[in-house]
A and B are shown apart, each in its own frame.
Chain A
Amino acid sequence: MKILVTVSESVDVDDDFEVSEMAIDERYLTYDLNEWDDYAIEEAVQIGEEIDDVEVVTVTIGPERTEEVIRQALAKGADRAVRVWDDALEEASVLDPATKARLVAAVAREEEPDLVLTGVQSGDYSFGATGVALAAEMDYEWAAVVNNLDLDAEAGVASVHRELEGGVEELSDVELPAVLTIQTGINDPRYASLRGIRQAQSKPLDVKTLGDVGVDADDLRLSLSLSSLYEPETEGEATLLEGGPDETAGELAELLRERGVDA
């Protein structure tokens, strides 16, 4: 059985930052493994530990810098990695989910996975769309926002719980091959072990261009571009009450009374 896991980096911006033209200055940015992807990797690695002959392959659309988070995934137990990047992508200000899905699908067609796990969303852009767009592109079954997964590999069925609005859980059976978008909390992601980090350095990490995965660079059809970037004016302020409910309830009531909220 082969599991493909999408792995991306997510950018964290410091509390204080400066916008210079169309970007936030690099000084204020920290790149890390996308939180949702951490859970997707853990889910795949756990499946690999439970049943025999599972290969976990990660796929990333990103520049060389993303190899840092890819090595994290390999250190946590993925078997090998594919990274797709191209000068043509470097020029795009934002990669829209449909384009990302097309590129991941190009890799998936080559890999022919039984199961694709993606994070529900990325922590920075938060589109939450790449996983389902990928399913459409591949014509695979899918389930989004999965917070519980029970896989019957022999029958080729994934029994999933989906976390819906308002605390509702939907239970579905999804036939493989399928794309599942994984919600945080589904498992307890491990730290990369020291041995894992050591082994990760020699695991295969293939770097491919658009041409290598059969996508024409002149036919990227990017549907999004960044038109402006600014810091919204602060209009009001928040009061943060710290402490337990026994202290803060009174403070809150006092504040509301002061502001004219009265029963």
Chain B
Amino acid sequence: MDYGLTDEQQQIRDEIRRFAENEVAPVASEYDRAEKYPHDVMDEAAKMGLLGANIPVEYGGAGYSTLETALITEELFAVDPGIGLCITSAAFGAEALIGFGTEEQKEEYLEPVARGDAIMGTAISEPDVGSDVSSVATRAEKDGDEWVINGSKMWITNGSVGDYFVVLVQTDPEAAGRYNGFSQIIVEADRDGFTAEKITGKMGIRASDTAELLFDDVRVPEENLVGNRGGGFLQLMQFFDETRTAVAAQGVGIAKGATERALEYAQEREQFGQSISEFQAIQHKLADMHTRTEAARQLTYKSAWSVDEAEDQLTMLASMAKEFASRVAVDVADEAVQIHGGAGFVDDFDVERFYRDAKITQIYEGTTEVQKNIIGRELLGKGTFS
């Protein structure tokens, strides 16, 4: 058993932190308030090769595993979850291409993302489809050598800034079995009939772009199909464990960032003639925040490690890590605001933003309730699809 990070992993963590402190921290509030996508920061992130962290080396990325990607996510989210999500989501959907794409697809779609010349997205949810992924209604019909797509997708990260999306569609509605008949198809944003409407007014992660995608007779060539026709749902499911682990890492990062700020503020703020960190009530809060963050981190790292090393235990671990780390993020951000008192209620201090940003981690990539269902099912020895 080895609990330490390698020299390389520490180097990644330290360099990401340097990047985030210098390039992200000074502009985080500005992009949050304006609900604006941080193109300038993205350019800097691209120069550092941050956008293709998990894209294989042969397609221009760094080829890092889920564990290293989790470290990157944690450090970025500890500085700013909004811009952190912009950076870590630029290759959303890439995992489907890495796993099931053709050589041509990998070259065409992965390389520009790794270079920072393109932004990707993955489109699953619909206005009436959230946790119940198997009821996806967006339809793709074959017409000659093209797919014709109709429907709409909701809550799509990078929706109005993305260049192409891996879209989960129904291709064979008559297929037997609840999970068959779905496919993943790449849709470029410049196709006729494609429109994206940015969703504004989000509570948190406001720098990150979210949109509704509308498909009105959008035609793409048949070679845009990713993997097998009818295998889309199972292809997608394979990566849920990884994407859930990534959200767990987001939660760990938020908790870490909130704890750091609370610790700093508690030592600076003086009341009753002493720094408030001298009060045991505050010390106990800080101790609890730090302990729970570390517990969430260990669960997350174990889940990330399991992606490559112990897949049999992954599904339950990923759900445990996601559920626990997102809850810790929300609770710790709450305590961080409490320690800041009135100062934490205005956006002069980062904790106000962390408090708003934390909540989404309990909602996206499977809600807390869905994670608990999975943990329960696994405990009782029932498979996910039984």
Contacts and interface: CB of A to CB of B under 8 A. Distances in A.
Interface of A: 67-68, 71-72, 75, 190-198, 200-201
A36 B100 CA distance: 47
30 contacts: A68-B7, A68-B10, A68-B11, A71-B7, A71-B11, A72-B11, A72-B15, A75-B11, A75-B15, A191-B15, A192-B11, A192-B15, A192-B48, A193-B48, A194-B12, A194-B50, A194-B62, A194-B64, A195-B49, A195-B57, A196-B49, A197-B11, A197-B15, A197-B62, A198-B62, A198-B63, A198-B64, A200-B11, A201-B7, A201-B8
A201 B19 CA distance: 20
A207 to B, nearest CB: 15
A191 B18 contact: yes
- Residue from A71, A196, A197 whose CB has the most chain B CB atoms within 10 Å: A197
Contacts of A71: 7, 11
Contacts of A192: 11, 15, 48
Contacts of B10: 68
Interface of B: 7-8, 10-12, 15, 18-19, 47-50, 52-53, 57, 61-64, 72
A196 B61 CA distance: 11
Given A190-B47, A197-B8, A197-B15, 17 more contacts: A68-B7, A68-B10, A71-B7, A72-B11, A75-B15, A191-B15, A191-B47, A193-B47, A194-B12, A194-B52, A194-B61, A194-B64, A195-B49, A196-B49, A198-B8, A198-B63, A201-B7
A153 to B, nearest CB: 26
A193 B11 contact: no
Contacts of B8: 197-198, 201
B12 A197 contact: yes
B72 to A, nearest CB: 8
Nearest to B52: A194
A125 B61 CA distance: 40
A191 B53 CA distance: 15
Contact of A191 (B7, B48, B62): B48
Contacts of B72: 194
- Residue from A72, A190, A194, A196 whose CB has the most chain B CB atoms within 10 Å: A194
Nearest to B62: A194
A42 to B, nearest CB: 13
Contacts of B7: 67-68, 71, 201
Nearest to A71: B11
Contacts of A198: 8, 57, 62-64
Q: Main SS of the interface on chain B? A: helix
A230 to B, nearest CB: 25
A71 B10 CA distance: 11
Which 6 A-B pairs give the minimum distances between C-beta atoms?
Answer: A194-B62, A193-B49, A194-B49, A191-B48, A192-B15, A195-B62
A19 B63 CA distance: 45
A20 B131 CA distance: 59
Contacts of B48: 190-194
B24 to A, nearest CB: 12
A191 B10 CA distance: 15
Contacts of B11: 68, 71-72, 75, 192, 197, 200
- Residue from B48, B63, B72 whose CB has the most chain A CB atoms within 10 Å: B48
A81 B49 CA distance: 23
Nearest to B18: A191
A71 B15 CA distance: 11
Contacts of B12: 194, 197
Nearest to A198: B62
A190 to B, nearest CB: 7
A223 B52 CA distance: 51
A51 B372 CA distance: 58
Nearest to A196: B49
A194 B116 CA distance: 13
Nearest to A74: B11
Contacts of B52: 194
Contacts of B62: 193-195, 197-198
Nearest to B46: A193
A190 B72 CA distance: 18
Contacts of A72: 11, 15
A190 B57 CA distance: 20
A58 to B, nearest CB: 15
A7 B64 CA distance: 28
A72 B63 CA distance: 19
B375 to A, nearest CB: 33
